[in-house]
Structures are given as C-alpha cells and as structure tokens.
A and B are shown apart, each in its own frame.
Chain A
C-alpha cells in the first residue's frame, strides 16, 4: 500500500498545480453568506437612492459596523461598506446621499452605488448626526449636524453637505454627556445629560442654525428617571415639533417635552393591562413635512399595546387620539410616511395591520404567514404604499428574536437573511454522524472473533435483503441521475448523509452573540440548524475558547471564556448539556487531550494553569500553554494520589523588550506522504519532521524588531530563530507552520544601516524549510534510528538536540495578509496550498507551495533536471494573480479565521472562512486528479458507446454475409 501512495506523491509533486478556479465551478462549489450584522432600530430604513427613482432600497448600519443596502424585493445585498463599529446613519431626504457617523468620522455615501462621497475625521467621538433641513427647497445639498464628545464636553459641528467641511462649531461650556442633536427648521437643539452618573438631568441648548451661537438653554428635571443615555427613549424625529421623551422609574408615566418649549413637560400615563410594562418604544415620523403624530408602544411580558398621540402645534399640547388594543405576544411597530400622511404598521404574532396616524380605522389587515422557527418580532421598518384610495400594501423588514431578518410582505414571508450568522468567533468541522445502529454493529463485529463476526455479518446481510426491492427500484433513477447531473454532490435535499467523496460535512459556527449554527458544506452552506446557546449582554462578545467535535458520538462541545460550556448534537442542533457562565473558573484556552478515560477537552485556566485533575483523566501527552505575560510553557502531569498535578517542564521567555504576539503549532491533522525532497541529481534531502514544533512570534515595538523562534514543544529547546529589523509592528504579522516548513508575513522597511545586500520596503512573505541535514542522502545526527526523542536526543547524556538545516527565501507581496492557514488532505500526498486572507481586497488567495519553494534557482534559469523536479526561476515578487483568488468575484468581508479539513478524496480539501461573512469552497491544489470534472460529458460517453453498440449490431450480419459470399466466389 505504501508504494503506490508514494509513487503518486512523486508524480503529484511533478505535476503543475492548478492556479485557478474553473469558471464552471465558480458559484457551484463555493458558497457565501453575504451578511451585514443585526440591523439596529435607529439606523435601518427604506430610502429612495435617487429622488427621481420610485423604488426604494433598504439601508442599515449594523451592530458590526457594516453599512449596507439590501434590495427589498430579493433580499440580496446591493453594496456594503465596513465602517469602524456601531454608529449613526441618516439619509438625506430628497438626495441620493447617506451620512454615517462612526467612531471619530463622519462620512457621506452615494446611496445608489455605495461609493464614498466625502469623509471627515475629528478628534471627538461621534454621538449623533442629523440632517439639517432647510425651509426652502433647492438650496443645494443639505448640511449635516454632527454631535461629538470631546474632553467630556459636547461639540456640535455643522458640516457642509457638499464636501463635509465645517461651517461652524459650537462647544459646550460645562462637562456634560452629549446625547443627541435635533432640529426643527428654526432652531438646533443639543440635548445632553447633565449631572452625576446615576441621576441625570436633561439639558437642552438651543442654537441658531446659521451662526451656531447659543440662543437659549433650559434644563428638564429627570433625576431618578434617567440613569444612562439608553433611558431617554426618543429625541427629535425630524418633524415640525421634535420631542424628547422618557419614562419614570416604574414605567407608569411617559414624560414628554416638545423641544424648545422650556416650560411644558407633559406626563402621559402608560396603561398597564396584564403585568408590568417591560419595554416602551416611541415611533414618530422622520420627515419634516409629516404630521406631528407619534405612537407609544408598550410591551409587557405577555402582550403589547399602543397609544397614538397628536401634538397641537399652536398650543404645544399633546393629546391622545386613539389606542391600538392589547394583543398577545410580542410585536413590532414601525412608521412610514408618505407626504404628510403617517402610517403605523403593527406586526404581532397573528396579523399585520396598518393604521393611519390620523384615525383609528384599520387600512389593511393580513394574517401572518412567517415560519415559527424565526421566533418573535423584535423591531422592524415598514414601507406602506397606497395603491388606490382604500387599498394599501405594506412590506416590513423585521428582525426576529432568532436573529433572522425577515421581509414580511402583506403578512407573508418574502425572504429571510440569516443575519445572526454574522460575527462568527469560532468554527469547527464535524463529520455527519453515521446512523448509530450500523456504527454500533460494526464496532461489535470488530471486537468479536472472526468466525462469529463473519456469521453475524452474513445474518445481517440476509436481514438487509428486504431492502433489496427498494434498492433495485431506485437503481435506474440513480444511474440516470448520475449520468445527467453535473454536480457530483447532488443527492436528495434535506437529508444529511455522508457522500462518497466526503464533501458533505458540517461546519459548527459560534457567533459573538451567543448563537451556534450548523452549516452543510456540501449543500451551498445552508443553515441546517441554529441554536441560542447563551444570552450575551449587549456590548459584550461571546469569547469561545474551543470547539471539540466528537465524531463518534456526534457531539460538539463548545467552551467559553467564563467557564461556560454547551454540548450540542451535531446532526440536530439540540443542546444536551449546558453550564452557564460564571459557575466554573474562567478559561484561557482549551485543548483536546487523550487520557486513559478517553479523549476530552481540557480547559486551561488563567495564566496557563489547567489546575489539578482526577488521575483517571490525566492527559497522556505533554501540554504547551501560554503563561501570564504571554511566555510559552511546557507542562507535564504528575500523578499524586488521586489527582494529577501540572508541573512546568520548561518556560520560554523572549529577551527583555520583546512581547510574544503569536504562537503557532502544526495542525492536528498534518500527514506527510514523502519524508524527503528529491534533488535534481536524484539525491534526497530528508525533511525535519518533528510533530512538536511551535513557532513563536515576538515583537519589540520600540526597536521595530520581529523575531521568530522555532521551539521544540516537548523539551523547550530553541531549534531556530530569525530576526527582522525595521518591522512595522502595528501591521499584521501572521504565520503558519505545517509539515517541515513555516511561513510568515510582515511589513519591513529599508534600514539606513543596511549596506551591501539590496533591501526592500513593503510586505514580505518569508518561507523557511527545515531538513535533517545539509548533506543530501544523510538522515542527520539521529542516523537510521526509527524513533526520536526530544528529551534524550541521543545516548550521550546531556546531548544537544539535533538542529535542523534551514533553507529560507523571501518574497515580496502586494498587500498585507491578515490570516494564514494551510490546506489539509487525507494523506498529505497532494501538494499543500497556503491560504492567505487579504483584508484590503476582501478576498482569500491560495498560494501553491511550488511557488513558495526556497530552493528555486536564483538569478538563472533552471537546468532541465531542476525543471523536472518542478523548480522554476526565483521571482522576488509574488503577484496575487486573480486566478489564484479562491473567492474569485465575491467580496468576503471581515474574515477572522479560515479552517480546512480533508475530504475523502485525496485531491480535495474543504475550506471554510468565517468572520462577518461566511464563505466556503473546495480546493484541489494538485488539480482534481481523482474525480471527473464537470466538463466531462457523461452523456456523450454513454451516447458514443451506445452508438458503437448499435453500429456493431447492424454491421455484424452484413459483414458476415459478405464474408460468406466472398468465400463462395473464390472457391
């Protein structure tokens, strides 16, 4: 068995590797979930991208800071931009412009194409933005009001709508917490929280919109009611009468002030129907020409109801107009305005109704037909269209409690975006579990003696005979479908079974919002199941430390940083066991170890201390952990009575001034088919194959140095180290290690002290190969010994470890790499590919190992013998050829990690990338040598054979007759 494998390996190393995604495979073998993140209630809206356009697009700035436009009809993303975190988004009414305020910047975007129009950066933190409405139409682009917090003071800037330049600036005099900015056409209002934390008053500063000078200022007493900015329910709505509203502590009354009217603070009672009100939201129209009406939506645990109020502009009184009755369950209310009319859309678990703000008559009512698996309605935006005088249509994009974004069109589900899948923090591959009974039977057979196992198997096969008629019935369909279908993985949908090629695997994804998803990699990455694992409070992220999939039982164990864990069935997504955060000690990392009691996932506590564990669960192997200051430690377990106690075997600390930023080890599945590399003269360089390699990256920011240490993780010996000077340590420094080579990338500058050797400035990719000896045909100091020990490298006491021979080469790359990983195949015969995530071009590139070969001849063309071994001339620059880009035309944003797993076919490795987006594909680094491609025409093969058969059948009698006749003639 070894021979063909190795011959194959040799053949493959000579074959040219594929550099391209084939056109017929693009969009068929790869899949992507183009995600935005969860839409936020105050930054999601329908808007016309151009004023003369009738159709609207759905815009949102999500919790992940992704600004995107979604086509409301199809649910497809039109364009996306990544901004720095959550923020504020406003549409300039009547213009095709969106304005976003995130972090410290205010940016304007073209609503149609998503191209940036202008951007302006300031020193303060953006707290709110608002569009300055003008009384007269057609005065050019509308200006933007941007509120900042600088040195704990409110700063308001009016930015020119055309280019973002500052028109005027207002600085608050006292230390206040700026909250929001609002405007009616006459005045600009800056609302800030005044006072100490825990009990704020609201201060409203009234500014002159032309000069930015403070005209007036008044304070609203809200002590005891407003503790945090979130307690203020609504400020503004850009209508004729902007209001500010909050509830009292017990949620019994709503306090409302019309901005600018210092004296009038009105108290509106909130009617309790069943149980306490838990949430109150206010919905008001955004347009300046809309009528000054607003809706108060109050939700209790069981039901929800709403009141509609009108503001009398002349007197400043707020009067209740009508109320929407109590309905069970949770509901969502959204506002949409058309000219002066304001419509409220109320979506509850049974029906959708639309009412006009002016009267309580129901304009439209539809029963809800939305899948129950989405959960309840959380919040949404709606667009109401008046078709004729009394016929309306409504579509609302509603975020569900199961973190799906659903478009409800007249009560029916139009499309669903699985936005909860965005923001993935960890993922792992899982095999689809075999049917349990068969697995058990096979195991039983393996353990009994051969004869009884044989008899058992025969009996089992006889029992299986009753399936035969069904199988025979199905056979023609299977044959026909295998001939007609072009996709190798096609099979019955909705059934999760393993396929013959191993392309069907599950990707278990954990997101920062505490959800877990199961995706089918062989079926365009569809979400098979999803599960809310833990409730993560807002502003926090679920920190997943490890996912371990036990394929024999079909159970995935997910461990989080606060000691929480959950056991999930990989096939169904049901939680078997769960431990909430906080009950167990915090976890720094987790590793799968093998113990006498079986494999299990060992949590490592803070400072790299796994703690004492029962002797039965003692790991058989050594452990490598990171300590308090990032130092790398080797641990060994010592059994002391009933407990196993970790003992530090070695510690690696970089020199003073250096900080460890990254530690990499070889992948768990990293088989090596050939243990040597054949040189052009047919001699062999033996690979240094040590499974216990750890690549430590340490940087010194002050000295601009990056050092890479290669350690033996059992003994702690340093095997190799290399230092780069003039490195920008703020740029990403990434590394990967596999087989007998490691690779890293960094940004390096030309040093003034460099002389002689030509230096270069830019992103570099350095590849290093390790060999047992620098002499060909030599297996190094260990000679022919069949095993190796890191602790006692030779029989001589205190001998030095066998150091590898190192060959290294540097390449220049056009852009920075934010993450690296290496493809994995079943037996390691296929040449590996380095998968690099490119942040600036939102893509993933697969660089073949043949390019990253440090033995490529430098400065000359290869000799024929070298060319035979696949070496070609060294080129210092690796261009990221579009053909090498695995994501081809897709834009995959926010990739955090790329994981790979072998398929059953040796040629193929499955790739899964996650982060904001989710992307998956299959790669065949040495071409798909063991499977027929799509271009192979099975039909024409069958047709040719059939035609030949028919031809023979027709011609045979004729030929026979002719031969007989011929013989008769000559005789």
Chain B
C-alpha cells in the first residue's frame, strides 16, 4: 500500500495555526515585562504548585484562622460607610432611604443565617474552639450592623416605641350608665 498522500496545505494550516504573536520576532519585550500568555501562565502556576512544599497542618490552621478573622470582621468594615450614607439620606420616607434601610436589615440577617456556611471551608479539628470564638465575633459584628439599621429606623420614626404607636389598641372606657337627653 502506498503511503497516504501528504495532507493538503489547508489541513496543515488548520492543525498548526501560526503563532498569535506576530511582533515577537524582532522587537524585544520592554524591561520588567512578563509574557501574559494564558497558556504560559498556567504552565507557570502549575509549575509553582509543583514547586511549593506542602504546608504542615499547623500552618494550615493558622492560615485558616487568619482567614476566618478576616471573614468575621468584614461586616464591621462596611459600617462607617453605611452609617455615613444613612446619615446623609435623611429621615424622610423616600425610595432611597427605604432601600438603604432594607439593605441595612437584609445584609446582617442574611449574614447571620449564613454564619455556618461562611466558615464551612475554614473549619478543622485543630481550631474548633478558636473558630467558635471567631463565629461569636462574626455574629456580634452582624448584630452591630443590624443595630445600625434599627438606629436608622428609629430615626425615621418607624419603631413603635412611643405611647402614640399603641394608641390604636387602647379602647375607650365603657360607661356603665347612659342618660338620654330629652329637652
């Protein structure tokens, strides 16, 4: 059997496209430039992990704990910003302030409900007791954010804290005697 004929030129072109870096010939890269080819980066990264020595469990725990603290304190970092925005939005009932208040309540409550999910990846046997404390701090921070929301709602007069808010549930006294006017 005769060997198969060489594939046509288009097949060769199709299977081995020309290099996508036409300028690589001739012009050198500027100093400090690292090639950004995704392929090469992947290669590099993969090579790095290969290079890095595996972490000990203790180191791993320390890192996890550090990460956990970061997660726990994240809500409080937003607080000053939120507080300023709330202050600026005023106490009147407008779409913007209502949205602000809605977010101020939604975020902490969602955060509180997702407490365990937030720390799920960082859980490990070694730091169980410490993680619990971090969770407590996380919950405290969320409550702080919630308190800010409540402060805002109170400022808007939406909290039923005064006597007038409960007036509707109070009833008039029933008179025991009735006199009919006849004049």
> What residues of chain A have their CB less than 8 Å away from a CB belonging to chain B?
2-3, 5-7, 10, 589-593, 602, 604, 608, 610, 619-626, 632, 634, 663, 665, 672, 674-676, 678-679, 682-684, 689-692, 694, 713-714, 776-777, 782, 785-791
- What residues of B have a CB within 8 angstroms of the CB of A674 in the complex? 167-168
What 1/0 flags go to B142-183 for Cβ under 8 Å of A?
000000000000000100001111011111111111111111
A-B contact list, 14 entries, CB within 8 Å: A3-B168, A5-B168, A10-B168, A622-B179, A674-B168, A678-B164, A678-B167, A682-B164, A683-B162, A689-B172, A714-B177, A786-B171, A786-B174, A790-B177
- What residues of B have a CB within 8 angstroms of the CB of A625 in the complex? 182-183
- What residues of B have a CB within 8 angstroms of the CB of A608 in the complex? 182-183
- What residues of B have a CB within 8 angstroms of the CB of A678 in the complex? 164, 167
- Tell whether, in the assembled complex, residue A634 and residue B170 are in contact, meaning their CB atoms are under 8 Å apart: no
User: Nearest-CB distance from B28 to chain A (Å)?
Assistant: 41
- Tell whether, in the assembled complex, residue B181 and residue A624 are in contact, meaning their CB atoms are under 8 Å apart: yes
* Complex: A187 Cα to B172 Cα, angstroms: 80
Most buried by A among B172, B174, B175: B172
Interface of A is mostly: mixed
- What residues of A have a CB within 8 angstroms of the CB of B175 in the complex? 690-692, 787-790
- Tell whether, in the assembled complex, residue B168 and residue A7 are in contact, meaning their CB atoms are under 8 Å apart: yes
- Tell whether, in the assembled complex, residue A626 and residue B183 are in contact, meaning their CB atoms are under 8 Å apart: yes
Which listed residue, A604, A675, A682, A776, touches B170 by the CB 8 Å rule?
A675
* Complex: A787 Cα to B174 Cα, angstroms: 4
- What residues of B have a CB within 8 angstroms of the CB of A10 in the complex? 168
- Tell whether, in the assembled complex, residue A791 and residue B177 are in contact, meaning their CB atoms are under 8 Å apart: yes
CB nearest to B161 among chain A residues: A682
- What residues of B have a CB within 8 angstroms of the CB of A689 in the complex? 172-173
- Tell whether, in the assembled complex, residue A624 and residue B176 are in contact, meaning their CB atoms are under 8 Å apart: no
What 1/0 flags go to B10-54 for Cβ under 8 Å of A?
000000000000000000000000000000000000000000000
* Complex: A589 Cα to B169 Cα, angstroms: 40
- What residues of A have a CB within 8 angstroms of the CB of B170 in the complex? 675-676
- What residues of A have a CB within 8 angstroms of the CB of B171 in the complex? 675, 786
Which listed residue, A5, A632, A684, A786, touches B164 by the CB 8 Å rule?
A684
Which listed residue, A619, A665, A672, A682, touches B181 by the CB 8 Å rule?
A665
* Complex: A787 Cα to B178 Cα, angstroms: 12
- What residues of A have a CB within 8 angstroms of the CB of B174 in the complex? 786-788
- What residues of A have a CB within 8 angstroms of the CB of B176 in the complex? 787-791
* Complex: A764 Cα to B1 Cα, angstroms: 128
- What residues of A have a CB within 8 angstroms of the CB of B177 in the complex? 621-622, 692, 714, 789-791
Most buried by A among B164, B168, B174, B183: B183
CB nearest to A791 among chain B residues: B177
- Tell whether, in the assembled complex, residue B179 and residue A777 are in contact, meaning their CB atoms are under 8 Å apart: no
- Tell whether, in the assembled complex, residue A593 and residue B180 are in contact, meaning their CB atoms are under 8 Å apart: yes
Contacts beyond the supplied A624-B183, A790-B177: 7 A-B pairs with Cβ under 8 Å = A5-B168, A590-B182, A591-B181, A621-B178, A622-B179, A682-B162, A776-B163
- Tell whether, in the assembled complex, residue B172 and residue A672 are in contact, meaning their CB atoms are under 8 Å apart: yes
Which listed residue, A5, A610, A675, A692, touches B167 by the CB 8 Å rule?
A675
- What residues of A have a CB within 8 angstroms of the CB of B172 in the complex? 672, 675, 689
- Tell whether, in the assembled complex, residue B180 and residue A786 are in contact, meaning their CB atoms are under 8 Å apart: no
- What residues of B have a CB within 8 angstroms of the CB of A785 in the complex? 173
* Complex: A678 Cα to B174 Cα, angstroms: 22
* Complex: A776 Cα to B163 Cα, angstroms: 9
- Tell whether, in the assembled complex, residue A692 and residue B179 are in contact, meaning their CB atoms are under 8 Å apart: yes
CB nearest to A663 among chain B residues: B183
User: Nearest-CB distance from A662 to chain B (Å)?
Assistant: 9
* Complex: A632 Cα to B182 Cα, angstroms: 10
* Complex: A675 Cα to B182 Cα, angstroms: 27
Which listed residue, A675, A691, A776, touches B178 by the CB 8 Å rule?
A691
- Tell whether, in the assembled complex, residue B173 and residue A624 are in contact, meaning their CB atoms are under 8 Å apart: no
- What residues of A have a CB within 8 angstroms of the CB of B183 in the complex? 589, 608, 624-626, 632, 663
- Tell whether, in the assembled complex, residue B182 and residue A602 are in contact, meaning their CB atoms are under 8 Å apart: yes
- What residues of A have a CB within 8 angstroms of the CB of B162 in the complex? 682-683
CB contact under 8 A between A619 and B164, given known A675-B171, A691-B175: no
CB contact under 8 A between A713 and B181, given known A3-B168, A6-B167: yes
- What residues of B have a CB within 8 angstroms of the CB of A663 in the complex? 181, 183
User: Nearest-CB distance from A654 to chain B (Å)?
Assistant: 15
- Tell whether, in the assembled complex, residue A623 and residue B179 are in contact, meaning their CB atoms are under 8 Å apart: yes
- What residues of A have a CB within 8 angstroms of the CB of B157 in the complex? 682
- What residues of B have a CB within 8 angstroms of the CB of A2 in the complex? 168-169
CB nearest to A627 among chain B residues: B183
- Tell whether, in the assembled complex, residue A622 and residue B180 are in contact, meaning their CB atoms are under 8 Å apart: yes
CB contact under 8 A between A682 and B163, given known A621-B179, A622-B179, A623-B180: yes
CB nearest to A649 among chain B residues: B179
User: Nearest-CB distance from B49 to chain A (Å)?
Assistant: 40
User: Nearest-CB distance from A490 to chain B (Å)?
Assistant: 37
User: Nearest-CB distance from B172 to chain A (Å)?
Assistant: 5
User: Nearest-CB distance from B156 to chain A (Å)?
Assistant: 13
User: Nearest-CB distance from A964 to chain B (Å)?
Assistant: 33
* Complex: A6 Cα to B172 Cα, angstroms: 13
User: Nearest-CB distance from B110 to chain A (Å)?
Assistant: 29
CB nearest to A683 among chain B residues: B163
- What residues of B have a CB within 8 angstroms of the CB of A632 in the complex? 183
- Tell whether, in the assembled complex, residue A604 and residue B179 are in contact, meaning their CB atoms are under 8 Å apart: no
CB nearest to B166 among chain A residues: A684
- Tell whether, in the assembled complex, residue A788 and residue B179 are in contact, meaning their CB atoms are under 8 Å apart: no
- Tell whether, in the assembled complex, residue B180 and residue A591 are in contact, meaning their CB atoms are under 8 Å apart: yes
- What residues of B have a CB within 8 angstroms of the CB of A789 in the complex? 175-177
User: Nearest-CB distance from A46 to chain B (Å)?
Assistant: 47
CB contact under 8 A between A683 and B182, given known A786-B173, A790-B177: no
Which listed residue, B163, B173, B178, B182, touches A777 by the CB 8 Å rule?
B163
* Complex: A674 Cα to B167 Cα, angstroms: 7
User: Nearest-CB distance from A146 to chain B (Å)?
Assistant: 43
- Tell whether, in the assembled complex, residue A684 and residue B181 are in contact, meaning their CB atoms are under 8 Å apart: no
Which listed residue, B168, B173, B182, touches A591 by the CB 8 Å rule?
B182
User: Nearest-CB distance from A735 to chain B (Å)?
Assistant: 13
CB contact under 8 A between A634 and B179, given known A682-B164, A684-B164, A787-B174: yes
* Complex: A399 Cα to B168 Cα, angstroms: 59
CB contact under 8 A between A623 and B182, given known A2-B168, A7-B168, A788-B174: yes
- Tell whether, in the assembled complex, residue B168 and residue A624 are in contact, meaning their CB atoms are under 8 Å apart: no
User: Nearest-CB distance from B3 to chain A (Å)?
Assistant: 41
CB nearest to B162 among chain A residues: A682
CB contact under 8 A between A621 and B180, given known A682-B163, A786-B174, A788-B173: yes
- Tell whether, in the assembled complex, residue A713 and residue B179 are in contact, meaning their CB atoms are under 8 Å apart: yes
User: Nearest-CB distance from B9 to chain A (Å)?
Assistant: 30
- Tell whether, in the assembled complex, residue B173 and residue A684 are in contact, meaning their CB atoms are under 8 Å apart: no
* Complex: A714 Cα to B177 Cα, angstroms: 7
CB contact under 8 A between A589 and B167, given known A786-B173, A787-B175: no
- What residues of B have a CB within 8 angstroms of the CB of A786 in the complex? 171, 173-174
CB nearest to A687 among chain B residues: B172
- What residues of B have a CB within 8 angstroms of the CB of A675 in the complex? 167, 170-172
* Complex: A690 Cα to B175 Cα, angstroms: 7
- What residues of B have a CB within 8 angstroms of the CB of A684 in the complex? 163-164, 167
User: Nearest-CB distance from B147 to chain A (Å)?
Assistant: 21
- Tell whether, in the assembled complex, residue A782 and residue B173 are in contact, meaning their CB atoms are under 8 Å apart: yes
* Complex: A676 Cα to B169 Cα, angstroms: 11
Which listed residue, B164, B173, B178, touches A676 by the CB 8 Å rule?
B164
User: Nearest-CB distance from B100 to chain A (Å)?
Assistant: 22
- What residues of B have a CB within 8 angstroms of the CB of A776 in the complex? 163
CB nearest to B165 among chain A residues: A682
* Complex: A786 Cα to B164 Cα, angstroms: 19
- Closest CB pairs A-B (n = 5): A6-B168, A591-B182, A682-B162, A665-B181, A713-B179
Most buried by A among B175, B178, B180: B180
- What residues of A have a CB within 8 angstroms of the CB of B165 in the complex? 682
